[in-house]
Structure 1
Amino acid sequence: MKQRPFKQVDVFTPVPYRGNPLAVVLDGTGLAEEAMQRFTNWTNLSEATFVLPATTPGADYRVRIFTSGRELPFAGHPTLGTCHAWLQAGGRPKGEQVVQECGVGLVKLKRDGERLAFAAPPLLRSGPLANEDVELIARGLGIPRADILHHAWCDNGPHWRGVMLRSAEQVLSLRPDGAALAGLDVGVVGPRGKVGVIGARGASDPDDECAFEVRAFFPGNSGMAEDPVTGSLNAALAQWLIGSNLAPARYVAAQGTALGRAGRVHVERDEAGDIWVGGASVTCVEGSVLL
């Protein structure tokens, strides 16, 4: 074991302790997978990441992303938080953009003022959910099946199933049944404005910057858990919603409200058709960790 540089970063917020925290070990060289998993479980955070030298030409660094009990090929808030920590620690990209190597391949990141944004990786599975899945999700969320207006696979590594409800208020009122939803990763989105967006409030609305409210439910150690702010889900939701004309090409989503957080996820489709998902990050703890 040795002391390794470490940062704990709050992601999707410029204000400490209002987003989604992430543990970043900035030197993961020589660590066994078991040691990475053990440390991740010990942190009691949703994810921890370990920075390693790139093995693919063109990448600036490699990252391994762990959650409780398993490694993830990709996750959004760990991608942004790791890049923030790497840059803050003196990392310098080879080109204009940062290129991260992870389980799904190469992920591009760009700086947008004080925010970082990643290019959403291709969906591994898309299209509508099976009817039995939609009915099960409705039962698990405690709502009538008719209140699920739209649904789709949002699988970009994590196997998210996405559903759109009638309103943000309905999304925030959910009390999911963990037993009914056991084994499912479920992302729920509802417009803050009129149903059917493109009547939802957009980023230019002076009263509320957010067009959508998002919640993410997944299996946890003691039943169904909820993620404060979820980059992978928001990336896949954006690909689905924008691609289906259910959302404008640029919007801001709120997440974490039900948990007392204030996550803000900035989404934009550029002229080339790429979806960029971004947010602010702030370092809350830094030093070293014995690993």
Structure 2
Amino acid sequence: MALTYHVLDVFTERAFGGNPLAVVLDADKLSSSDMQTIAREFNLSETVFVLTPASPGHTARIRIFTPSRELAFAGHPTIGAAILLAELRTSLVNGDSDAIIALEEEIGSVRVGVRMRASGATFGEFDAPKVTSTPEALSEPEEMSAAVGLISTEIGFENHKPVLLKSANTFAFMPVSNLDAMSKVKVTPQHWMRAFTDRGVHGVFLYTRQCLRAQSAFHARVFAPDLGVPEDPATGSACASFAHIINQFDALPDGTHKRAIEQGIEMGRPSSIALTMTVSRGKLEAVRIGGYAVRVAEGTLKI
């Protein structure tokens, strides 16, 4: 059996930046074990498998795998798969086109608006799944700071404190004082297990207001070693949850708020994630995640 695959760089307008993603097409005949083996072979933070949708109203069904496990939902695979399917299946008019790609994911249906333009990279944006839990304060700051190679005084800024948010993927959010401290972050396994693994945390999202790009509102790094991802260049699902952290600590006024989040810079994979938040009566009513993607490779898998 031979299957076509594409590799895209997601959350970037240029090749060899952003978060690389493998997308395997026509994967209906693959078993879950096959998919996990292929994801391990690509060894990217995620690999997407495109299958026939259960409902004719959807564009495709997708399954998402890290090198070590399947995920119910993830941001850059959603953006990348939708952009690829739009580019492969949508006819352009004078080089431009818009499309709605409806994806069946393990978490449910996710609709992605895709904007294709002859003048540049393709942009995709989706409404993030609702988060029903609320942020929980994280104690034991010395254990947590040691888990990421920092000292406790480098954790926190203004009123921002470490919190845990449970959603499709559970993330710990750790505010870091400045860029200098962010540059020193590294996983310390003996502390990581007690601080995060034992709490069921999928990944840790570290962030600071100090940024390298003028258009960015936050600088972030994400580590998910328990998912087989030592560091992630761009993490859309974490940014979707991060919206709740921003609203909690920054007390956003009612209305629509846009924030650009830079990530992956320390890895040499600069990424930009567009976060849009709608607040009504102090509550976060809607979250959208957007970004560009570019195709960089394609080939054939021989199974």
| Same fold at TM > 0.5 | yes
2:69 is aligned with 1:70: yes
Match of 1:286 in 2: 298
Counterpart of 2:167 in structure 1 is: 156
Asked whether 1:129 is paired with 2:137, we answer yes
Cα distance in 2, alignment partners of residues 109 and 136 from structure 1: 39
Check whether the contact 2:150–2:181 (CA below 8 A) recurs between aligned residues: no
| Number of the residue aligned with 1:227 | 232
- Report what 1:275 is aligned to: 287
Query: Which residue matches 1:165?
Result: 176
Bigger mean CA deviation after superposition, 123-132 or 23-32: 123-132
Name the counterpart of 2:87.
Answer: 88
2:131·2:241 contact (CA, 8 Å) conserved in 1? yes
Say if 2:206 is the partner of 1:188. yes
Letter in 1 for 2:296: C
The 3-state SS of whatever aligns with 1:136 is helix
Alignment partner of 1:263 out of 268, 271, 277: 271
Moved more, 16-25 or 224-233: 224-233
* 1:89 aligned counterpart, secondary structure: helix
Shift of 1:137: 1.5
Residue 236 of structure 1 aligns with which residue?
A: 241
Mark the CA change 1:143 to 1:271 in structure 2 (over 3 Å): closer, same or farther: closer
Task: Kindly provide the CA deviation profile for residues 145-165 of structure 1, in whole angstroms up to 9, marking residues without a partner as x.
Answer: 343232222333222111112
Pair 1:226–1:243, CA change in 2 (3 A): same
RMSD of equivalent CA atoms: 2.6
SS for the counterpart of 2:205 is strand
Shift of 1:181: 1.0
1:139 aligns with 2:139: no
Distance 1:249 1:287 in 2: 40
Q: Which amino acid aligns with 2:164?
A: W
The one-letter amino acid of 1:153's match is: L
**1:22 Cα offset (Å):** 0.7
Q: Percent identity?
A: 26
- For 1:15, the aligned partner's letter is R
Q: After TM superposition, what 4+ stretches of structure 1 lie above 6 angstroms from structure 2?
A: none
> In structure 2, what residue type is equivalent to 1:217?
F
Counterpart of 2:147 in 1: which secondary structure? Answer: helix
Q: Which amino acid is 1:118 matched to?
A: F
Conservation of the 8 A alpha-carbon contact between 2:3 and 2:26: yes
- Whether contact under 8 Å (1:8, 1:284) holds in the other structure is yes
How many angstroms apart in 1 are the aligned matches of 2:143 and 2:129? 28
Residues 221, 275 of structure 1: alpha-carbon distance in 2 compared, 3 angstrom cutoff: closer
Partner of residue 113, structure 2? 110
TM-score normalised per structure 2: 0.82
Change (3 A) 1:178 1:161: same
Unaligned runs of 5+ in 2: 92-97, 117-121
The 1:91–1:6 alpha-carbon spacing in structure 2 relative to 1, beyond 3 Å, is: farther
Cα displacement (A) at 1:124:
5.3
Task: Give CA-to-partner distance per residue, 1:152-181, whole Å, 9 cap, x none.
Answer: 223332221111122334223323313211
Inter-partner Cα distance in structure 1 for 2:278 and 2:65: 30
Structure 1 unaligned residues grouped into runs of 5+ = 194-200, 202-206
Q: What's the TM-score once normalised by structure 1's chain length?
A: 0.85
CA distance in 2, matches of 1:164, 1:150: 6
Contact kept in structure 2, 1:242 and 1:249, CA below 8 Å: no
Q: 1:218 to 1:271 in 2, by over 3 A?
A: closer
- The alpha carbon displacement at 1:135 in A equals 4.0
Aligned to 2:95: none
